[in-house]
Amino acid sequence: MTSDISLSSPNLLPQEDADYLCSLIRTIPDFPSEGILFRDFMPVFAQAKSMNLLIQGLVNALPVMPSEFDYIAGLEARGFLIGTALAQKLDKGFIAVRKAGKLPPPVLSQSYDLEYGKATMEIEKDLVKPGSRILIVDDLIATGGTAWAAMKLFESIDCSVAGFSFVMELDGLDGTAKLDNHPMSTMMVMPA
């Protein structure tokens, strides 16, 4: 197992499966810039076994029961891969939360702050009915800006965010503090 990556709970997967899944995540120092440890999650998607384990682990870690949400919203871009597989497994609809300029109009937009500027996330207008309950998923929670923007987008159309589900959490960055105490789960924890 990669020594600095571990499951957030030992009950999510059998230990042998957890070790295998964690071993596939590569750590690349100084990418995309000096001082950053990039967590390359893409090898997990390259094998059916690891993909199946990932989705089962996410189901086991859900922060709320499936009956408590109507849609899964995946954040660009790896959240699309995870979210669609999870939505299919749980028989839910899927909503893509995209970076600005990627969806045809009309769209709803929410800007948020980055360390180096601003970014904007969008969803297609009228795709989700008011009153819908949304589970927001992504591969990683770091500073929490993207997840916060998605939450605000759905709240702006009178949807409720049932919770958040992340594969990985970078420990020590406190990104979850931005998520208004919504139910949240992470499958793996690693140092920032």
**Cα–Cα distance measured from residue 139 to residue 40, given in angstroms and rounded to the nearest whole number:** 11
End-to-end CA distance of the chain: 18
% of the chain surpassing 90 pLDDT: 75
Cis check for the bond before 130: say yes or no (omega within 30 of 0).
no
User: Quick one: pLDDT at residue 3?
Assistant: 58
User: Quick one: pLDDT at residue 1?
Assistant: 40
pLDDT band at 52 (very low <50, low <70, confident <90, very high): very high
**Cα–Cα distance measured from residue 192 to residue 189, given in angstroms and rounded to the nearest whole number:** 9
User: Quick one: pLDDT at residue 37?
Assistant: 83
Q: What is the 3-state secondary structure (H, E, C) of 16-72?
A: HHHHHHHHCCEEEECCCCCCCEEEECHHHHHCHHHHHHHHHHHHHHCCCCHHHCCEE
The CATH topology of domain 4-189 is Rossmann fold (3.40.50)
pLDDT in tens, 132-179: 999 999 999 988 999 999 999 999 999 999 999 999 998 888 888 899
**Cα–Cα distance measured from residue 51 to residue 33, given in angstroms and rounded to the nearest whole number:** 29
Active site residues: 78, 115
Cβ neighbours around 41 below 10 Å, total: 19
Burial tier of 117 (Cβ tally within 10 Å: 0-12, 13-18, 19+): exposed
Cβ neighbours around 50 below 10 Å, total: 18
pLDDT in tens, 94-121: 999 999 999 999 999 999 987 677 999 9
Q: Residue ranges of the domains in the chain?
A: 4-189
- The residue among 148, 115, 127, 134 whose CA lies nearest residue 35 is 115
